[in-house]
Structure 1
C-alpha cells in the first residue's frame, strides 16, 4: 500500500493543508513543533480512527477551526486506488472509503484494505521512532537480549515485559525455600492452627452440655421478660385512662346537646349581611333621583349649540383646496419657464440636423435603432479600427528589424562554413587520434581486470576457510549425535525396549551416511576456472599494450578540438538561422491576418452606417460621433414632449382650483362675487366657527353619556341590593326580619357547641388508648386499685428473673474457662478459612505458571517456525550495515535472546556489543520483521528521527538500506538538516507551522 496524497481539513495546528505526489521515499523536514508529529498522528488517525477521550493519546483537535479530520488517497496492490476520508463524528470519527472502481463503504471496507490490522500492531511493525533505541540505552546488560528478541517477534518490547512480569508474579507467590512469599506464609500459618485444633477437640463434649443448659436458661428468662413487658403495657394504659376519663365524658354530653338542636338552615353570616344591606339601600335611592334631574338640564343646552354638519363633512376637501391657492403663482412662473425651454430645444435640434446634414423628422429619428447592442457595435468597430492602425505600424517596424537580423545571420553562417575542415582531412585526423585512445582504453581495461582478479582471489580464499570451518563443526556434531544414539542403543538393550534399540540403530546408520557424504571435497572448480580465465585475459592485454605504437599527437588533438568547436558554432548558427526564418514567416503571417481583420471591420462599419441611415463617408471617419448626435436628438425630442405635457397639466390644474372655490362659495358663504383670496379667507373662518360649536356639543354629549351610564349603574346596584335582601329572608325561611334575627341566635349557640366538641376531640387525638376501647374502660370505678395489683405481680416476676440471671452467669463462667485458647468450633472455622485462602492463592500461582508455560511454548514455536526466515533477512541487513563485521545472528538455545557472530566467527551476546552496534542490530531485526513475516502487508514504513545517534558512516549505511526496500513506501520525518544531503531534492517536503513547502537546497 502506498500513500499518494493527503488533504488535512483540520488536525492540530494544520488547517486546510494539501500534500500531493508523495514519493516512494518521502522525507518530511521541519524544526520542532513544525507539524511532523501531527502528520504522523493524522496518518494513524485516518487509517485506524481518532483517539477517544478515554485514551491517553493526543486527539489533535484544531483550536481555530470547526473542521476536524481529512482524507488520504492510497494505492493498494490488490484493490487499486482508493480515497479514505475521516471526519468528526462518533468516538473514533466517521469514515468513508471511495474506490476508483465506484465501490463506497465504511469501516468494514477500510478493514479489508488494511488486512484487519489495528493501530497497535501497525505502529509496532511499521512505525519507527527514537523510543525503541532509547530503550536499549536505558536497559541493563542482561535485558538487552530479551528486548531484541521481543522486537523481532512483535516489533515492540511487550514480549520481554510479559516474560519478566510473569516471573515476578510467580516469585511473589511461592519460593521453595522462602518465607515471605504468600504461599509459604499461609502454609506455615495453617500448620500452627492445625495443632491448636487437636487440643480443643478433647474438651468439646463437656463444652456442648454447658451450651445446651445455657440456651434453656436463656429461653426461660426471655419468657419472664415478655410477661413483664405485657404487665408494664397494662399499667401504662390504666394511667392513660385515668387522665382522659373526664374529657371523654364531657365529649359524650356535648354530642347529646347538638343532637337535640338538630339541623338549622340559615345563611352564612346572615345577621351581618342583613345589617349591611339596610345601610346601603337608602343612599342609593336618593342618588338615582339626583342624576335624573341633571340629565334633563344637559339636553336643553345641546339644542342651543348644534353645528353645521354639511360644512364639516367637506372640511378635508375645503382645506386641500385652500392649501392650493398659494401655488397659483408658482404654476404661472413654471408655465413661463417651460415655454422658454421649448425655444432652446428647437434651437438645439436645428444645430444637430446641420451637423449630421440629414433631413430627418422626429418620427424618422425615433425609428433609428440606437439600443445597447448597436451602441456596443459602434464602440467595438471604432476601437477595432484604431487598434488595427496601431498594429499595422508595429508590424511594419518588426518586419524591417527581423529582415535585417535574418540577413546578418546568413552572412555569419557562410563565414562559419568556410572555417571548418574538409571531410577527408577530418577523417584522417580522427584516425590518428583514435590510435592513442585505443592505448588508453587498453590501460584502463587492464587495471579493472587486475582489481577483479584480486576480488575473486579473496573470495576464493574466504570460501576455502569457511568450508574448512564448516567441516570441523559438522564433524563435531556428527560425533555428538553418534554418542547420543549409542547411548539410546545401550539403554534399549538394558531395559529390553526394542523400539528404542531400533531407533538408536537407525540413527547411527543415518549419521554414518551423512559423515561419508560430508567427507567428499566441496567443488570450487567454477571459481578457480573463472580466475584462470581472467589471468589469461590479463596476459593478452599486456601483449597488446607492448605492441602498440606511441605517437605524439597533442597538436592533432588540439586541432581536432578546435574543429569540433567551430562545427558546434556552425550548428548553433544554423539553428539560429532556422529560428529567425520562423520568426520572419510569423511576421508575414500576421500581416495577412491584419488584412483579413481590416476587411471584416470595414464590412461591419458599412452595415452599421446603413442601420443608422448615415452616409458611408461620414461613417468611415466619424461613426461614433454620428451615433452620439443621433442619440442626442432623441433625447432632446423626449424632453420637448415632456415639457408640452407639463404645460397642459399646469393649465388644467389652475382651472380646477378656480372652479372648486366658486362652488364652495355658493354653498356656504352669504357674500357672492368675491375675488379668489377673499373667498379662501371667509371659508377658513367659517370652518373655525363650526369647529368650536362641534367641540362644545361633543363635551355636552360626553357629560350626558356619563350621567346616563351612572344612572343606569346606580339603578342596577339598587335593584341588586333589594334582590339580595329578599334572598336572605328566603334562605332562612323567615317572613319578617324579627323572625330572621331569632333563628340567628340559635345558629350561634350551635356553633359554640361544635367549637367545644372540636377542642375536646383534639385533646383526645393523641391519647395512647384508641377510641374503640373507651367503652370497655367506662365501667371501671377505681383504676388506682388495678394499678397496684399489676405492680405486685411485676415485683414477683423480677425476683424470679434475677435468680435465673445469676445461674446463667455461673454457666457462662464455666464455658469461659473451657474457651482458654478459643473454642473448638472457632478454631475449626479459622482452620477452614485459612485452608480456603491457601487454595485460592495456589490457584493464582497455577494461572501465572500456566501463562509462563504457554509463553515459553509460543517462543519456542516462533524460534522453530518463523524466526529462521526473519533472521536470514536480518543477517543480510546487519552484514550490510556493519560492512560485513557481523554476518550471523543465532537465537539462544533456551529462553529468548540472540547471539551475534562476527567475521572471525566469534559469538557475542547482545549486551557484549557496543551501543551503536546494538542499535544497528535492532534496526536490522525491525526491518526484517516488516519485510518477511509481514511481507503480504506492504504498508508504508514511518520513521521519526530514529538514527540521530549514528555517526555519519552508519547514517549513510542505514539510509542506503532503506532505499533498497522497494516494496514498502518510506515516510522519513526529521528535524536535522545535515541528513537532507542523502536524499534527492524532489523527495523532500519542508514543514513550517501550519504549512507544507517544497524544500529548496541553498547553493
Structure 2
C-alpha cells in the first residue's frame, strides 16, 4: 500500500493544507523544530486507524470549525482509494471511496489492512530517535518478546493473557509463600493431620474396610484416566469436524485453479491502464468535435459579415463626402462671438498635450479612436507584463542558485579527486598489501611444514574450485547478456561481454599463476625463510591510503550523481525559460499591436497605461469641445451649401435616413456607415484568427488522440486479443484467478494457524466423511457417559465405605477430624487442579512464543546483518542475537565480536534501524504498509546517512522520513519543505 496525496481540513496547526506523496521513496518532509512535522505524522495515523475522542479534541484546530481530512492511498489489487474522516461526522469513523466512486464503511478499510492496529503499526513500521534507546542491554528473553510482540498481530491480547495467568498462579501457590490458597490449605491439612494422629487408635478393626477403600480409590483413578483419554479423542474428532468444511473448500479452490488457462501474458494492471487511456482519449475526442464545430460556425459568421458590406465604390464616395465635413464645420463658426472661447480651448489643449511629452499633437486627436474595450486591454497588458517580469526574475534567481550549487558540487568533486590515488598507485598499494598478507601467512606456516603442506593442498583445491566457478559464471553471464541483447535489441549490453570474459579468464590465469608460485615455494624453497618487505608502519600507511582512496572514490561517485540531478534541474529550468520566452513573445506582440494602433504609447511605460488612458480620454473630451467651437465659428451660408450638399445627396442616394436630414445628421450617418464597415472588417479578421487557432487545435488534438490510441493497441497486442471486449473478458479471468488464489491462500493460512499441519494435510489427501466423524463423536460421547456413570457409582461406593469406616471409629472427635481431613483434601485437589491447568496454559503459551521466535529469528538476523553491513561500509559483517544474558553482538570483518554497549551511540542506532527494517521486510509478505520514520538519524555521520537513505530508496515499501536536519534533506532525492 502506498500513500498518494492528502488534504488536511483541520488538524492541530494545519488548516486546508494539501500534501503530495507521489515522489520516489524515500520522501523526506523537512522542517525546523515546531514546524508541524509530528502533527502531520499523527494526522496520517489518524486517517488510517482513527483516534479516541480525547485525542481528537487535543488536535482540534483553533482557527477552523472542521477537524479531519482526506487521504488517498493505492492498495494493490484494489486500486486508488480515498479515506475521509471528520470528527463531527460518524463519531470519527472513516468513509472510503473506491476506484469507481463506490462508498465503503470503516470495516472495509480494516479488512484491507488485514487487522493491522495503530499500536502494531507503530511497533513495526513507525519509529523515531526516542525508540532507538535500550538496545544495548536487551537480553535473549527481551528480544524474543520484541519479535513476538512486533511480528504477531494481536500480540497485546496474548501478553495480557500471560500476565493474568502468572497472577492467578501466584494467587494459588508460591514455593515459599503463606497467603496463597494452596499454601494456606497445606498448612490447614498439616494441622488436621496432627489432630488425627492423636485420635487414631492402634487397633486395626477396620483395616479390611480401609483396604477395600484403597482398591476403590485405585478404580476411580483408572476410570479418570480412561475418561481423560476419551475426552482427548473427542477433542481431536471435534477439531476434524471443525476443519472439514475449510479443507473441502480449500480443495475446491485448488481444483478450480487447475481449470484456468495460463494468463501470464496479460499486462500488469491491464484493466486500469486501458480505462485510464480511454478516460484520457474521450476528452480529446470531445475537444476535437467542439473545435471542428466552432470552425464551421466561424466560417458561417464570416460569410454573414461579408454579406453586410456594401460595394467598395460606395465607401470611396462616403470617404469623399466626409472630407467636406471639416469645411462645413469651419463655416459654422461665428468668428466674433466665439473667437475668445476657441482661443481659450486651443491654449488649454496645447498645454495638456505639451504636458504629456509623448509626441502627440492636437491634430492627431481628431483621428484618435478609443473603443470601449481599450481600457481593459491596456490594464490586462500591464498585469501580464508585470507578472512576466516577476517570473523572469524568479527564473533568473533559480538559475543563479543552481549555478552556485553546481559550482559547489564541482568543488566537492575536485576535492574528492584530489584525495584519490591514481589507478597505478592504487593497484600498486593493493598488490603490496596482498603480498604482505601472503608472506605473513607463509611466515606463520613455516613453523609446521607438514601442517602447512596439508593446509596448502586444501586451500589449493578450494582456490581452483572457486576459480573454475568464477570462470563458468563469467561465461554464463556473458552468454545471457548476448541472448538478452539480441532478443531485445539492447546493444549497450554487448560491450559488457568482453569485460566479463576478460575478467573470468584474467582471474583464472592469476589463480593459476598464484598456485604455481605457491607450489614452487613448497617444492623447491620449503627450507628458505620468507621475509616481509613492508614494515608494520608502512603496512598501516598503505591500508590508510587505500581506505582513504576508496572513501574519496565513493564521495566522488555521490557528488557526480548529485551533479546529474542538478543538470536535470537545469534542463527543467530551460523548459520553464522557453515557456516564459513564449509568453514574452505573446506579450510583446500585444504591445506592438497597441504601438501600431497608438504610436504615442511608445513614449509611455506600460505600468502607466491605465492612468494614461483616463488622461487621454479627458483630453479627447476637451478636443471635442474645441471642434464644436470651430464648427460654430465657421458657420457660413456658402460653406454650408458647398460642404453640406454632398453628404445629404449621399444619404439620399443610399437611403440612409429621411429626406428631412440636415447636413450634420447626414455627416453622422456617413460616419456611422464607415465605422460600421471598420467594425465588420475587424470582426472578420478576428473570426479568421479564431478559425486558424481552431485548425491548429484540431491538428494537436488529433495527434494526442493518436498517441493514446496507439497505446491502447499496444495493450491489446500485449494481451494477444483483437478487441476491447476480449481484453475485458481476459481481465475478468485474471481477476477471478487472483481471487481464487487469494482465497486459497487465506484458507491455507487459517488452517495452518488454527489446526495442526499434520492433521489437515492428512485430511486433504484422505478426506473423511462427515457422517463417519459424527458417528465416532456420538459413540465416544456414549462411552464417556457410561464411564462417568460408573465413576459416579464408584464414588458413591467409596463414600459408603468411608461412612462405614467412620461408623467404627471409637471417637466422635476422630470421626469429625477424619471427615474434615477428607473435605480439606478435596478442596486441595481442586486448587491443585486449577493450578495445573494454569501451569499447562502458560507452558503452551511459552512454547508458542518460542516457536514463533525460532521461526523468524534466522530470517530477521540475516536481513538485519545485510543492512548493517551496508550501512557501516562492511566494517561489520554479521549481527548475533542475544543469547541468555549476553546482549546483541556485532562481528567485525576481522572476526572480532563487539557487544552492543561497546559500540558508539550512532552504530547502536544503526543496528536498531537495521533490525526494524528487517522485521518490516519479513512482515511485508502480509502487510505492505509505508514506513514512517521521525528523525532517527541524529547520531549518523554524512556517509552513513547517505547509505541508509540509499537502502530506504531500495525498499519495496514506501518510506516517509520526517527530519529537521539539512544534511538529510540535501542527500534526499525529493524533499517537501514545510514551514511552521
Q: Scaled by the length of structure 2, what TM-score is found?
A: 0.39
Larger Rg: 1
Structure 1 length normalisation: TM-score? Answer: 0.38
